[in-house]
Structure 1
Amino acid sequence: MAIVPLPRRPFDPSDASGAVTRDVPGDDACDAVRQWYENELGWATVPGTPVHLLTGLRFDVLDVPVEAGVAALRHLGPVPGPGSPVALRGGRMLLLVAAGGAEELPGLLAWLDWGGLDLDLTAVGTGGHMAAPAPPGGAERLGGACGEAGSQGAAAWLRPPEPGCEVEPSLPSMSALGGGGGAPDLVRVVDTVATHCHRVRLRRASTGPSESQPLAFS
């Protein structure tokens, strides 16, 4: 799936989704976080606080248990990063994939013989959103904490996006199937994540919930 670059300034998501991004008055810290995402990355945000990022335009999200996500990233090695952002929120890991990946997920799982199993693996795409982690360095450097930032279970970047760098070419995509381009193969990423989601559920079913593995990878 080809990714068409969108303009960085100004960025108007209403052209693609009908949503309108606007500043939220009365919360300077959230305004600063919102502006960081919109101006530095060109990502659309959802009106309101705390700040949420609109999915389906620049990226989609795979939402997996953190234990399965850690194991999958270890297995994948340099894929899907380090250029592919990864976030944590509570006991979940959020892996950014190319826009359109959420729509591909059900078909991919069925094709990979994972269809019909309860993997605790979901995707968020067009019309959805994810909580915006504090920008690298913390929301405090932008003038204070915004919404849930700093609270237990708040969204946080494990592999943050880099301002000034195009994120889309590094995201797992269907267009990478067969080795073309520089993006990781979405099929491999989904199969690996699904495998570890299944292993986690089997382990928890037989032994009960276990503590998440330490995030010992780069």
Structure 2
Amino acid sequence: MVGSVPSAVRSAAAAISTVPLPRRPLEPDAPADLIRGWYENELGWPTVPGEPVRLLVGERFDVLDVPAEAGLAALRRLTPGLPVAVRGDRMRLLVAAGGAEEVPGILQWLEWGALPLDLTAIGSGELIEAPVPAPGGRRGPDTDPDSFGPVQGAAVWLRPPVAGREAEASLPTMSALGGVGGAPDLVRLVNTLATHCHRVRLRRASAQPLAFS
């Protein structure tokens, strides 16, 4: 019949229309458009054009960047639901938007300000590569830090944010500014990270061979 739609086309269209948007973090080899869609549609986090997918920091979250060795040690003392990503030997922990601006003052107040800690706060207007789930799909918001292994290449989530809810509502914030519900205290997080960054620095320094003239 002229103008009729072939059955194969109808079947394909029906299949496409019934495929739901992803309701969980995607696999590491997912195409960039699916990764971008998960961030924008499920979490409501803005991305920027281009590949790899990058996230705009400062609107929904800020980031603390530390050596992975220090971050893993700190996680054993922190809330299990804290979103955490790793790229190479660096770890990134998500905090509430605006938190990056508070970090220098917090470090000064805690008397860490004069020490080189290798702790960087990433805030408004900056970009980070969008992490994808770690290989194997076994890691989640409550993953034990002791189970983390080396991560090479692209940034991956070790503890991904949870889709389907306001993922940033439980991010560490300044308690005095009215944290949401049981959100962790940003001051405690920064102090814990600073402590372990300092320990890592001292350990690395002691491992260096002595120079004799």
Which TM-score band (shorter chain)? 0.7 to 0.9
- Tell me whether 41-50 or 179-188 shows the greater mean CA deviation: 179-188
> When the two structures are aligned, how many residues end up with a matched partner?
167
Taking a change above 3 Å as real, the CA distance of residues 157 and 190 of structure 1, as seen in their structure-2 partners, is same
Runs of 5+ in structure 2 lacking a partner?
1-29, 138-150
Aligned residue number for residue 65 of structure 2: 63
Taking a change above 3 Å as real, the CA distance of residues 199 and 135 of structure 1, as seen in their structure-2 partners, is closer
Question: Is the 8 Å Cα contact of residues 36 and 135 (structure 1) preserved in structure 2?
Answer: no
Question: Is the 8 Å Cα contact of residues 169 and 180 (structure 2) preserved in structure 1?
Answer: no
Aligned residue number for residue 5 of structure 1: none
Q: Partner of 2:103: helix, strand, or coil? A: helix
Q: Percent identity, aligned pairs only?
A: 69
Alpha-carbon distance, 1:168 to partner: 1.8
C-alpha distance in structure 2 between counterparts of 1:127 and 1:93, whole Å: 20
Runs of 5+ in structure 1 lacking a partner?
1-27, 140-150, 210-218
Taking a change above 3 Å as real, the CA distance of residues 153 and 208 of structure 1, as seen in their structure-2 partners, is farther
C-alpha distance in structure 1 between counterparts of 2:73 and 2:165, whole Å: 27
Taking a change above 3 Å as real, the CA distance of residues 52 and 107 of structure 1, as seen in their structure-2 partners, is same
Aligned residue number for residue 75 of structure 2: 73
Letter in 1 for 2:132: A
C-alpha distance in structure 2 between counterparts of 1:72 and 1:178, whole Å: 24
C-alpha distance in structure 2 between counterparts of 1:198 and 1:136, whole Å: 27
Taking a change above 3 Å as real, the CA distance of residues 94 and 176 of structure 1, as seen in their structure-2 partners, is farther
Indicate yes or no: 2:166 matched with 1:166.
Answer: yes
Q: Partner of 1:75: helix, strand, or coil? A: coil
Letter in 1 for 2:47: T
Detail structure 1 runs of 4+ shifted over 2 Å in the superposition. 135-139, 175-181
Letter in 2 for 1:113: E
Indicate yes or no: 2:40 matched with 1:42.
Answer: no
C-alpha distance in structure 2 between counterparts of 1:185 and 1:174, whole Å: 6
Indicate yes or no: 2:119 matched with 1:117.
Answer: no
Letter in 2 for 1:204: R
C-alpha distance in structure 2 between counterparts of 1:170 and 1:92, whole Å: 23
Indicate yes or no: 2:144 matched with 1:152.
Answer: no
Q: Which has the larger radius of gyration?
A: 2
Taking a change above 3 Å as real, the CA distance of residues 94 and 64 of structure 1, as seen in their structure-2 partners, is same
Taking structure 2 as the reference length, what is the TM-score of the superposition? 0.72
Letter in 2 for 1:110: Q
